[in-house]
Homo-oligomer: A and B are copies of this chain.
Amino acid sequence: MQTENSNIGSYKFVAEPFLVDFTGHLTVGMLGNHLLNCAGFHATARGFGIPALEKLHCTWVLSRLAVEMDRMPCQYETFTVETWVENFYRLFTNRNFAVLDETGSAIGYARTIWAVIDLDTRKPVDLPAEAAGRIADYLCGRPCPIEKPSRMKAAALEPADTLPVRYSDIDINGHVNSIRYIEHILDLFPLEMYRRRRVRRFEATYVAESRYGDSLAFYKQQTGEDIYEVELRKNGAESVCRAKIVFADAPAPSA
């Protein structure tokens, strides 16, 4: 199902029934899961994935994510995720995505920004020269026609919800996984919202890691007619993640 013979990786998926929401559309969290998996497939097949970085005692971490969809794939719909690296700098690498329907038309795009951290200190380090050399061979100038992740403002004064970090939130690194944050953030909105509206754009900035035992407070604020910003703070203090959600009219129920 993978095409690895070019700068662009192409991977086919089906929107599985337990991974769609009550409107029958793939959830933003599960789309995010597919995007991050494709990033891993693409990088690993080209020699600059996590296995290559781990040999250099470091790893990739997702720093920012922006997804913008004209529509989400429907239950049982086949769709393709394409991904490519736009460019890289000392501290950050930009990877973009297109989501295509069965006819090959784009139904959405995503931008991600990745950092490299040391496996012990979990602090950012420079992109190793060896990885940079590999990435340079695969850069791709294909346009990604959505806005870059934006600056986000301060959070509300009162948390909309507070959740303890649970077993199912934790990934193999011992931290809350990037996808779970998305699910928890979208759970802050009432079901009624998703009946009338859909998530057109979702942005997240991952600031710090949280662990089992942490308490996550979700500060939610409406910052525009269809725009909400959410800040997650752990244990009443440190900012962990910021998100921006832009809603649009949901498609007619027949869609």
A147-B108 Cα distance, complex, nearest whole Å: 47
B186 touches A212 (CB 8 A): no
Query: How many copies of this protein are present in the complex?
Result: 2
Contacts of A170 in B (CB 8 A): 21-22, 191
Segment of A32-40, A64-72, A96-104, A137-145 in the binding face: A32-40
Knowing A191-B212, A212-B191, the reply to whether A18 touches B168 (Cβ < 8 A) is: no
Nearest CB in chain B: distance from A245 CB, A: 12
Nearest CB in chain B: distance from A23 CB, A: 8
The contact size tier of chain A is: 35 or more
Of the listed residues A40, A166, A167, the one surrounded by the most CB atoms of chain B closer than 10 A to its CB is: A167
Segment of A115-123, A150-158, A171-179, A234-242 in the binding face: A171-179
Is there a chain B Cβ closer than 8 Å to A130's Cβ?
no
A186-B167 Cα distance, complex, nearest whole Å: 8
Knowing A166-B187, A187-B166, A191-B212, the reply to whether A171 touches B18 (Cβ < 8 A) is: yes
Is there a chain B Cβ closer than 8 Å to A206's Cβ?
no
Is there a chain B Cβ closer than 8 Å to A247's Cβ?
no
Knowing A33-B16, A168-B29, A191-B167, the reply to whether A22 touches B186 (Cβ < 8 A) is: no
Knowing A166-B187, A171-B22, the reply to whether A17 touches B37 (Cβ < 8 A) is: yes
A78-B183 Cα distance, complex, nearest whole Å: 26
Query: Interface residues, chain A, CB within 8 Å of chain B?
Result: 1, 16-24, 27, 29, 33, 36-37, 40, 75, 166-168, 170-174, 177-179, 183, 186-187, 189-191, 194, 212-213
Given contacts A17-B37, A166-B187, 14 further A-B contacts (CB under 8 A): A16-B37, A17-B36, A18-B36, A18-B37, A20-B172, A21-B167, A21-B168, A21-B172, A22-B170, A22-B172, A24-B172, A167-B186, A167-B189, A191-B212
